[in-house]
Every structure is written in C-alpha cells, then in structure tokens.
C-alpha cells in the first residue's frame, strides 16, 4: 500500500522509494531491491502502476494508474477504522512495557482523543488544530528546557 501511496505523490524510481522508506523509518527498515522491485512488478501486472519512462541506464520511473488511485482512496476511507484499532493495540503494548507510567498512559489517552476528534474535522479546521498543537508542543518544550 505504501508503494502506491508514495507513487500517488509523485512518480519515482524503485531506488527513490527505498530511500523514502529508509528516511521515514529513520533507518529502522531499509527494504532491499529484492523486496521492492518484485512488488513493483506485481503492482504493474495488476494494472495499479505503470512504467512512466525509462531513463539512462535502464532506470524505470513508476507512476500510479487510475486503478491504483482508487485503491488508495478506498484504503483512506478505511484508514480511520484501522488507526483506531492500531491505537488500541498500541495501548496494550505500552501497558506491558510501562505498566506503572501514569504520564505515558495519560499521553496515550490524550493522543487517541485528539486523533479521533481531528479526523472528524474539515481540512481547514484540521490545519487550525495542527497549528495549535504545534504551538502547545513548542510551549511545553520551552517550559521543560
């Protein structure tokens, strides 16, 4: 799914996708070419992406197709439900690791509440909330530091 999502933002080579995943996971996961390229071939066979151009040295640039965009749209529609489920499982793991941490538990409850509430807002309101949250985080950092 992430390959489709990444290609929806802009056409890319397999190497660019690998680099993006490495950056987003802060180096925790660096997928190999042997992982990414077979997935890209499967997506191409399924009609979800296509090779946009072949550059020098046979560098393929992949682009999402309209069918691929439909898959992303359907996934986003299910995303809120998936995130709520993820948050519940995350709470179980945190509870096992930090069973005595009232601070962590409270932060998780706040995060879950904010996440659910913000998703229900319009895009414009979401932007306002993001500004407020960033300001709060900045103020907290000033207090702590």
- Over the stretch 80-126, which tens digit does the pLDDT of each residue have? 777 777 777 776 777 776 656 677 777 777 877 787 788 788 889 98
Percent of the chain residues topping a pLDDT of 90: 45
- Asked, for residue 86, whether it belongs to a domain, the answer is no
Contact 3/9 with Cβ under 8 angstroms? no
Q: Domain range holding 52?
A: 2-67
Q: What Cα–Cα distance (Å) separates residue 55 from each residue in 4, 12, 19, 40, 52?
A: 21, 12, 18, 17, 10
Give the burial class of 94: count Cβ atoms within 10 A of its Cβ; 0-12 exposed, 13-18 middle, 19 or more buried: middle
**Is residue 12 domain-shared with residue 59, that is, in the same domain?**
yes
Q: Decide which of 67, 88, 115 is a domain's last residue.
A: 67
**Is residue 22 domain-shared with residue 63, that is, in the same domain?**
yes
- Asked, for residue 56, whether it belongs to a domain, the answer is yes
**Is residue 54 domain-shared with residue 105, that is, in the same domain?**
no
Handedness of CA 108, 114, 117, 121 (dihedral sign): negative
Nearest alpha-carbon partner for 1 in 45, 51, 64, 55 = 64
Coil, helix or strand at residue 13: coil
Structural domain count, the chain = 2
Nearest alpha-carbon partner for 4 in 59, 62, 55, 58 = 62
**Is residue 115 domain-shared with residue 58, that is, in the same domain?**
no
**Is residue 109 domain-shared with residue 52, that is, in the same domain?**
no
pTM of the model: 0.61
């Amino acid at each position: 799914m992430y390959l489709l999502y990444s290609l929806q933002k802009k056409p890319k080579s397999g190497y660019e996708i690998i680099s993006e995943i490495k950056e987003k996971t802060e180096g925790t996961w660096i997928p190999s070419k042997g992982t990414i390229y077979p997935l890209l071939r499967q997506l191409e066979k399924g009609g979800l992406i296509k090779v946009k151009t072949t550059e020098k040295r046979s560098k393929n640039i992949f682009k999402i197709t309209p069918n691929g965009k439909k898959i992303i749209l359907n996934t986003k529609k299910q995303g809120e439900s998936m995130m709520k489920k993820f948050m519940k499982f995350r709470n179980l793991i945190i509870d096992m690791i930090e069973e005595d941490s009232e601070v962590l538990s409270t932060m998780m409850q706040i995060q879950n509440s904010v996440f659910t509430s913000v998703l229900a807002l319009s895009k414009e309101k979401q932007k306002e909330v993001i500004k407020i949250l960033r300001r709060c985080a900045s103020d907290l950092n000033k207090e702590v530091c």
